[in-house]
Structure 1
Amino acid sequence: MSRYRILPYGVLVAGCLFAIFPYYLTLLTAFKGPGQLFGTAPWEPGLPPSTAAFDRLFGSGFGGYLVNTVAVTVGITVGQLVFAVLAAYAFARLSFPGRDVLFWVYLSTLMVPPVVTMIPLYLMMQKLGLVDTWAGLILPTVLGTPYAIFLLRQFFRTIPADLEDAARIDGAGRVRTLLSIVLPLSKPILVTVTTLAVVANWNSFLWPLIITSSEDKRLLSVGIALFKSEIGVDYNAVMAGSLIALAPLLVLFIFFQRFIVRSVAVTGLK
Structure 2
Amino acid sequence: MTKRLLLHVVLAVGAFVSLFPYLLVVLTAFKSQGQLNTTAPWVPGLPPTTANLTRFLSGDFPRYILNTLVMTAVLTAGQLVFTTFAAYAFARLRFRGREVLFWLYVATMMVPSAVTMIPLFLIMRELDLVNTWYGLLAPYVLGTPYGIFLMRQFLRTLPSGLEEAARIDGAGPLTILVRILLPLCRPALGTLAIITVISSWNSFLWPLIVTSGEGTRVITVAIATLKGGIGTDYNLMMAGGLIALLPMLVVFVFCQKYIVRSVALTGLK
Q: Quick check: 1:259 aligned with 2:264? A: no
Distance 1:10 1:113 in 2: 34
Superposed CA deviations along residues 146-196 of structure 1, whole A, max 9, x for unmatched, are 011001101110111112222333333222221222222222221111111
Following superposition, the deviation at residue 231 of structure 1 comes to 7.6
Q: 5+ residue gaps in structure 2?
A: none
Partner of 1:181: 180
Which segment drifts farther, 256-265 or 118-127? 256-265
Instruction: Tell me: CA distance 1:231–1:138, structure 2 relative to 1, closer, same or farther (3 Å).
Output: farther
Q: Quick check: 1:43 aligned with 2:45? A: no
Once the two structures are superposed, the pairs formed by residues 153-232 of structure 1 within 5 Å of their partners are 153-229=152-228, 232=231
Secondary structure of 1:171 counterpart: coil
Task: Please tell me whether the aligned partners of residues 188 and 260 of structure 1 are also in contact (alpha carbons under 8 angstroms).
Answer: no
Q: Which runs of 4+ in 1 moved over 6 A?
A: none
Once the two structures are superposed, the pairs formed by residues 231-270 of structure 1 within 5 Å of their partners are 232-270=231-269
Q: 5+ residue gaps in structure 1?
A: none
Distance 2:58 2:163 in 1: 55
Distance 1:4 1:120 in 2: 51
Superposed CA deviations along residues 108-137 of structure 1, whole A, max 9, x for unmatched, are 111112222212211111111111111111
Length-normalised TM-score, structure 2: 0.95
Secondary structure of 2:215 counterpart: helix
Following superposition, the deviation at residue 103 of structure 1 comes to 0.3
Once the two structures are superposed, the pairs formed by residues 22-33 of structure 1 within 5 Å of their partners are 22-33=21-32
Distance 1:137 1:61 in 2: 20
Q: Which amino acid aligns with 2:58?
A: G
Distance 2:231 2:261 in 1: 45
Length-normalised TM-score, structure 1: 0.95
Distance 1:203 1:266 in 2: 23
Which segment drifts farther, 225-234 or 36-45? 225-234
Q: CA RMSD in A?
A: 1.5
Superposed CA deviations along residues 182-238 of structure 1, whole A, max 9, x for unmatched, are 222222221111111111111111111111111121111100000222783111111
Task: Please tell me whether the aligned partners of residues 34 and 236 of structure 1 are also in contact (alpha carbons under 8 angstroms).
Answer: yes
